[in-house]
Amino acid sequence: MPNQPCCIPDRVFVVLFVLQFACVVIGLTESRSFTIGKNCFLKDGQPFRYVSGTMHYWRVPEQYWEDSFVKMRAAGLTAVDTYLIWNLHEQEPGDFYFGGNLNFTRYFQLAQKNGLLVVLRPGPFIAAEVDLGGLPYWLVRKNPDMKLRTTDPSYLHYVERWYNVSLPLVKPYLYANGGPIITVQVENEYSAYGCDVTYLEYLRDMFRRLLGNDVILFTNNYAVPQYLKCGTCPDTLATGDFGTNSISGGNISFYLDSLRMFNPDGPLVDTEFYSGWLDVWGSPHSTLSTSEMLDAAQIFMDRNVSFNFYTFHGGTNFGFVAASSQGPFQPITTSYDFNAPLSEAGDPTEKYYQIRDFLGRYFPLPPGPVPQPSKKGAYGSVQLRFAGSVYDNLKSLCPGGPIYSTLPMTFEILKHGHGFVLYRSYISQTFRDPTVLSIPGLHDRAIVLIDQVPVGIIGQGVGVLKMGIFVQPGQALDLLVQNEGRGGFFSGGDVKGIIGNVSLDGNNLTQWAMYPLSLPNFPARAPQTIKLKRNTPFGSKHHELRLPGFFSASFSTPEVLDTFVQLDGWTNGYIFVNGHNLGRYWPVQGPQVTLYVPAVYLNSGKPNVVDVFELENAPCAKLSECLIRFVDTPILNATVPVGLTEGRILKHSYPPKVQRPLS
């Protein structure tokens, strides 16, 4: 269908007439309306098209939200776009949290203060490369057969409870109520998962009940007919999610024409116009050329399309927030830089300046200086000391002690959403040498230890779920199981830990003790430091270096600036600064080599504490080499190794020679 000019419908003239004579009387709030016109939105009755950018509030430290908004507005954007992330707001059933880095009402206020409207995408499923696509991991605890993202009443009950709590916080911030929110999305790319319009209608009606009628509801789908057919819903605006050819594999005009078939005369919107792309561990860093992107944006300009840069400021997957990609199984990197116009640390990039020049040709840019990158700290090397193995610290990592059960339990049943669980079973019979350890339901990765000595790593990542081991009766078989992130894309569910049985030569092992490890989570509601055996002299016979284990240091910086931590020679683990979980590092896998350390996580005027939880191999045979480095330039694009590093057998301790009593 040809483009329709953005004309002003008759009733708008009435509104304008009324405003001219009566706006003083009816007041400003009365005049606020955001509605659908012909090939455009109508903002207070005037034709309007927005250009927005995604910045997820949980991916950028709350102290930096405003800085990001200022830079977005300075680039000519008129709106900001975010999801609501249910699984961080309700980490355990009924325990809601809306403070700190999750205070989205503050995000709305700051956006508005800085001249930005808000496009809100409350889910419930959001994808977004976050654990289980934003759904809480505990949903399936009571009912393992729960059908996520359907009209299954056991699922909808929790969805409704979440919105009963969260949407009343949103409602005062709708445009018609004086706030910045112009549109609200129903579900997310639903057609990539299902084709159940009843479910979409249920959500639509619930949003109407909780938000009222004065807001535009919309759906977003890959903009080709077969997807649009399944993911759209009556009385919502059909929008598309598509990037340029090298990202989405199609052409912009085709997507817009497809969208027109499902949206005959409303505004055309690209809700996810990709500015770059995500990274997974073990694959090359993704980039997108600015010129390719702006050629497409030119088409949007010519056709009055509203569009959203996904992302404009990608930020960081702090803590255990990152999802994994399924089939093939690949965990998402800690950095969510996305090759976006604002870097992970919020610095304008070349892409940013080119977008600003481009938008400046169409829209007035606000006065004020052109944003510049901020200074970064290159604090240099910090020497770490061994702070005990996972066993040395087990009491403080698992203060409640183990949970016992005949058969292994999943993370979901153990009420331990993220990170690590140490599973232990004692060998009670004689097996041949070697015997085959098999864990077909391992999600996702396990370090195998016999009497606390690591003997191998198996995991989903390389599809190696069995290995040969040497064991004797009485020995402890330990599996330190790591959750590498639940599926985040089309998720119908992803349970973690050991699902089903662990067998040795076909014999299922029973009598398990399970130690959920409590590590600082994100976002922290209160300071969370790990109680480690930090000050034991390195190499003393009470404290032999054993892995998996912890390494710590205290350090001060001459000034407090954003910085990046580089872990040369380290292998795979998590790093914590002053109790802030900076996320996973895995430099041997790449492409990400440095982790972002926001200045607001560092102390001014007192020393900082850094703790590294290394799972595999630390460069600490010599104290002088047991270093991490704080550098001023991120490395997100290292060459990735050919073939994965995991799945290998640790030959040096195989078969185990050292027998140790259990602590």
CB of residue 253 to ligand NAG, shortest distance in Å: 4
Among 349, 536, 617, 637, binds ligand NAG (CB under 6 A): 637
How many H helices and E strands in the chain? 12, 34
**Class of residue 438 by CB neighbours under 10 A (exposed 0-12, middle 13-18, buried 19+):** middle
Q: Using the rule CB under 6 A, is 460 a contact of ligand NAG? A: no
CB of residue 52 to ligand NAG, shortest distance in Å: 17
Q: Using the rule CB under 6 A, is 6 a contact of ligand NAG? A: yes
Q: Using the rule CB under 6 A, is 304 a contact of ligand NAG? A: yes
Among 226, 508, 511, 663, binds ligand NAG (CB under 6 A): 508
Among 98, 362, 363, 404, binds ligand NAG (CB under 6 A): 98
CB of residue 156 to ligand NAG, shortest distance in Å: 8
Going by C-alpha positions, the residue among 389, 418, 562 that lies closest to residue 478 is: 389
Q: Using the rule CB under 6 A, is 303 a contact of ligand NAG? A: yes
User: Whose Cβ is closer to ligand NAG: residue 201's or residue 518's?
Assistant: 201
Question: Which residue stretch of 101-109, 224-232, 359-367, 650-658 sits at the interface with ligand NAG (rule: CB under 6 A)?
Answer: 101-109
Q: Using the rule CB under 6 A, is 26 a contact of ligand NAG? A: no
Residue 346 is encoded by which pair of tokens? 């919020």
Among 37, 45, 47, 497, binds ligand NAG (CB under 6 A): 47
Number of residues that bind ligand NAG (CB under 6 A): 29
Buried b (16+ CB within 10 A) or exposed e, 50-87: bbbbbbbbbbbbbebbbbbbbbbbbbbbbbbbbbbbbb
From residue 148 to residue 177, the character string flagging contacts with ligand NAG as x (rule: CB under 6 A) and all else as - is ---------x--xx--x-------------
Which residue in the block uniquely carries the two structure tokens 């269908």? 1
From residue 250 to residue 289, the character string flagging contacts with ligand NAG as x (rule: CB under 6 A) and all else as - is -x-xx--x--------------------------------
Cα–Cα distances (Å) from 539 to 138, 139, 288, 543, 546, in that order, read 42, 46, 48, 6, 10
Residue 122 is encoded by which pair of tokens? 């409350």
User: Whose Cβ is closer to ligand NAG: residue 98's or residue 363's?
Assistant: 98
Q: Using the rule CB under 6 A, is 3 a contact of ligand NAG? A: yes
> DSSP characters for 13-34?
HHHHHHHHHHHHHHHHHHH--E
Q: Which residues touch 278 (CB under 8 Å, ≥6 apart)? A: 129, 286, 332, 333, 336, 338
Kindly identify the residues of this chain, within the stretch 378-407, that bind ligand NAG according to CB under 6 A: 407
User: Whose Cβ is closer to ligand NAG: residue 23's or residue 206's?
Assistant: 206
Q: Using the rule CB under 6 A, is 500 a contact of ligand NAG? A: yes
* Active site members: 189, 272
Q: Using the rule CB under 6 A, is 106 a contact of ligand NAG? A: yes
Rounded CA gap, 136 and 132, in Å? 7
Residue 291 is encoded by which pair of tokens? 């010129």
Q: Using the rule CB under 6 A, is 501 a contact of ligand NAG? A: yes
Going by C-alpha positions, the residue among 529, 531, 412, 428 that lies closest to residue 481 is: 412
Which residue in the block uniquely carries the two structure tokens 């938000």? 211
Rounded CA gap, 82 and 62, in Å? 14
Q: Are 457 and 447 in contact (CB under 8 A)?
A: yes
Q: Using the rule CB under 6 A, is 103 a contact of ligand NAG? A: yes
Q: Using the rule CB under 6 A, is 105 a contact of ligand NAG? A: yes
User: Whose Cβ is closer to ligand NAG: residue 304's or residue 334's?
Assistant: 304
CB atoms within 10 A of CB 541: 6
Helix segments in 224-275, DSSP class H: 225-231, 245-248, 252-262
Which residue in the block uniquely carries the two structure tokens 């990765």? 445
Q: Using the rule CB under 6 A, is 487 a contact of ligand NAG? A: no
CB of residue 164 to ligand NAG, shortest distance in Å: 4
Which residues face 342 on adjacent strands?
A: 313, 348
Question: What are the backbone dihedrals phi and psi of residue 368, each rounded to the nearest 5 degrees, phi first?
Answer: 120, 165
User: Whose Cβ is closer to ligand NAG: residue 343's or residue 389's?
Assistant: 343
User: Whose Cβ is closer to ligand NAG: residue 3's or residue 33's?
Assistant: 3
Residue ranges in contact with ligand NAG by CB under 6 A? 3, 5-6, 39, 47, 98-99, 103, 105-106, 157, 160-161, 164, 251, 253-254, 257, 303-304, 407, 440, 500-501, 503, 508, 637-639
